[in-house]
A and B are shown apart, each in its own frame.
Chain A
């Protein structure tokens, strides 16, 4: 399939371009991509913009089919896609609008360590993490749960994990949705999904999943950084993982089983992967119930990974939990569909908001923002590539006005995996990172080649657009010291 896209991108303002609905018959709304001129060229390199146009076909879509500045080619929806449908208008829910890795997301942790404390020890620390935290293809969890326990996990998410002694009550307050979406339906999940997810709670996975040790190297908003418990030179950790085989199988099951739904409900779609059903239909309700199980599984997974990380650090630095102070700043989902209240045309409605490679970014004062952050806005965690930097931001009011409370989720890929492997020929990505003072461990050398920094956009450019467009405000920047991958 031809990769380049030559459709219309009309600049609306310094931060947004529009694909007019007249571009393709069947589009119910415009497409809007958040991008400045630096990013437009990369947008045209693949078919992601066509996918933005395709998403505009979904019944009940509100405002526009949107994409964040880390947009790239996905399946059905583009990565970076945001679309809200109104169930009261026959609005649909689409498994492709959530993706295979349901509730792939990231959590950011702060510590009482600083760069001086860890200097000279990062390589050994990364080695300890790699040894004690299950990563890579085929790994199983260090902490095993029975089948009955896994049914509890998918219904109750983080709350069950914390009650099991693998976390603290305050971890729940600092997780989106408290680490559990109500209305999960374990009976809507196939036996095959339970089979595929068995033993994977507490495993990192592979591909672009990682646990990274970082240091805060620039602060933009001192007040917000202080609320996060961060100072320049402070050591932080980011954990990026999702719902593992459990979520992948649920997506696959429902993309397959919903193939007949568009015909049944008279929905014309330009892409089979956009298969959908009305939110208020049996099919839609069952998918939502199953998706919520996967979302809860992913939050539980990240909670266990954090517990294992805390243990590694406590043991390595011989510090008590209190002295180490490894506290959860926040955890965000970036592949999910949620029923949320939003204002459209002046009236508040309950909408089904799909975020596929996009992060919720609620503003100051929003009741769903934890009380400790309510004055500054919801933390928005944006991991970059492993060679440059990552960012913390806080949600702003413009996000509620323009993007249903959404912002970007990461850097967005530039190079295909095979192109990244080609460019790594004759090089050692691990050694190049070491020369920059970054220690990376992965089971598979090719995994590091595929995930090398040059394979990704510069996340600072992506974050500048989100900041400039008023969707979220920069708080601080962290640079990597060490990372483990699958």
Chain B
């Protein structure tokens, strides 16, 4: 299966997911103790599903997965954490998503945008996501959540869009990695 080379900017170095055994620096421990920042990081038991990327005006995520479905699932989980606190949402209703793209990056952007559209346009809040299939280049997933309730759901940020800029999907020695930014 062909991978999409990022159009811009290309990078030569390999993207390595962080090892579980990495020592967490003291400043990072204090940060993660804060509720606000903890919500944006998943300390993870096994592999870290995603981590935050810095951007001057917005925010990005780097997601990891052993398989492509897991990768796209973790990218979506990262975006959900930017939008709201999934723990404040009840996963009582399911909806199916089927999207297609022209390549891996396009599929990533289209997939995340679909979640964004359902959140914003249809006033939905999602707690869980399960990607069951990714094949060149079609994705099938199930989103679990409920109608948006501002009195109950901890809403965090309004994402305007999912740009192609900086979006990439790559394979390292041990995992799939995706990076994407959100215009906030």
Contacts from A to B (Cβ < 8 Å):
1, 3, 45-48, 50, 54, 72-76, 79, 96, 99-101, 136-139, 192, 195-196, 198, 205-207, 245, 248-249, 251-252, 255-256, 259, 269-273, 275, 413-419, 421-422, 425, 443-447, 449, 486
Of chain A, the residue at the smallest CB distance from B154 is A444
Contacts from B to A (Cβ < 8 Å):
7-9, 11, 30-31, 34, 36-37, 40, 52-59, 83-84, 102, 105-106, 109-110, 113, 117, 120-123, 148, 150, 155-158, 160-167, 179, 181, 183-184
Q: Which residues of B are found within 8 Å of A271, using beta-carbon distances?
A: 7-8, 164-165
Whether B56 contacts A72 by the Cβ 8 Å rule is yes
Q: Which residues of B are found within 8 Å of A269, using beta-carbon distances?
A: 7
Give A203 to B73 CA distance when docked, in angstroms: 32
Distance in angstroms from A426 CB to nearest chain B CB is: 9
Distance in angstroms from B169 CB to nearest chain A CB is: 13
Which of these, A50, A72, A138, contacts B150 with CB under 8 Å? A138
Residue with the greatest number of chain B CB neighbours at <10 A, chosen from A1, A252, A270, A275: A1
Whether B36 contacts A206 by the Cβ 8 Å rule is no
Given A207-B158, A272-B8, A272-B167, output 13 extra A-B contacts at Cβ < 8 Å: A46-B55, A100-B161, A252-B113, A252-B161, A256-B106, A259-B164, A269-B7, A416-B56, A417-B59, A421-B36, A425-B31, A444-B155, A445-B36
Distance in angstroms from B151 CB to nearest chain A CB is: 11
Q: Which residues of B are found within 8 Å of A425, using beta-carbon distances?
A: 30-31, 34, 37
Of chain A, the residue at the smallest CB distance from B183 is A100
Asked whether A272 and B7 contact (CB < 8 A) given A137-B158, A252-B162, A259-B102, the answer is: yes
Q: Which residues of A are found within 8 Å of B105, using beta-carbon distances?
A: 272
Q: Which residues of B are found within 8 Å of A137, using beta-carbon distances?
A: 83-84, 150, 155-158
Which of these, A1, A245, A255, A446, contacts B120 with CB under 8 Å? A245
Whether B158 contacts A74 by the Cβ 8 Å rule is no
Whether A54 contacts B8 by the Cβ 8 Å rule is yes
Give A137 to B149 CA distance when docked, in angstroms: 11
Give A197 to B157 CA distance when docked, in angstroms: 17
Whether B163 contacts A446 by the Cβ 8 Å rule is no
Inter-chain residue pair count (beta carbon < 8 A): 142
4 tightest CB-CB pairs across the interface, nearest first? A273-B165, A75-B163, A272-B164, A100-B160
Distance in angstroms from B142 CB to nearest chain A CB is: 21
Whether A192 contacts B117 by the Cβ 8 Å rule is yes
Distance in angstroms from B163 CB to nearest chain A CB is: 4
Q: Which residues of B are found within 8 Å of A45, using beta-carbon distances?
A: 56
Q: Which residues of A are found within 8 Å of B181, using beta-carbon distances?
A: 75
Whether B121 contacts A195 by the Cβ 8 Å rule is yes
Give A75 to B181 CA distance when docked, in angstroms: 9
Whether A259 contacts B8 by the Cβ 8 Å rule is no
Whether B164 contacts A255 by the Cβ 8 Å rule is yes
Distance in angstroms from B124 CB to nearest chain A CB is: 10
Distance in angstroms from A442 CB to nearest chain B CB is: 12
Asked whether A207 and B157 contact (CB < 8 A) given A1-B9, A196-B120, A256-B110, the answer is: yes
Of chain B, the residue at the smallest CB distance from A449 is B36
Which of these, A136, A421, A447, contacts B37 with CB under 8 Å? A421
Give A195 to B9 CA distance when docked, in angstroms: 34
Whether B157 contacts A273 by the Cβ 8 Å rule is no
Q: Which residues of A are found within 8 Å of B83, using beta-carbon distances?
A: 137
Asked whether A75 and B183 contact (CB < 8 A) given A251-B161, A416-B54, A444-B155, the answer is: yes
Whether A79 contacts B57 by the Cβ 8 Å rule is yes
Which of these, B7, B84, B148, B158, contacts A206 with CB under 8 Å? B158
Distance in angstroms from A270 CB to nearest chain B CB is: 5
Whether A444 contacts B8 by the Cβ 8 Å rule is no
Residue with the greatest number of chain A CB neighbours at <10 A, chosen from B30, B34, B160: B160
Residue with the greatest number of chain A CB neighbours at <10 A, chosen from B36, B56, B57, B183: B56
Of chain B, the residue at the smallest CB distance from A251 is B161
Whether B56 contacts A76 by the Cβ 8 Å rule is no
Whether B57 contacts A413 by the Cβ 8 Å rule is yes
Whether B54 contacts A418 by the Cβ 8 Å rule is yes
Give A139 to B58 CA distance when docked, in angstroms: 21
Which of these, B55, B148, B162, B165, contacts A272 with CB under 8 Å? B165
Q: Which residues of A are found within 8 Å of B155, using beta-carbon distances?
A: 136-138, 443-444
Distance in angstroms from B107 CB to nearest chain A CB is: 12
Q: Which residues of B are found within 8 Å of A252, using beta-carbon distances?
A: 113, 161-162
Give A25 to B33 CA distance when docked, in angstroms: 47
Question: What are 25 A-B residue pairs whose CB atoms fall within 8 Å in the complex?
Answer: A1-B9, A1-B11, A75-B183, A137-B150, A137-B158, A195-B121, A206-B157, A206-B158, A207-B158, A251-B160, A255-B164, A256-B106, A256-B109, A271-B164, A272-B7, A272-B8, A273-B163, A273-B165, A414-B56, A415-B56, A416-B55, A425-B30, A425-B31, A425-B34, A446-B36
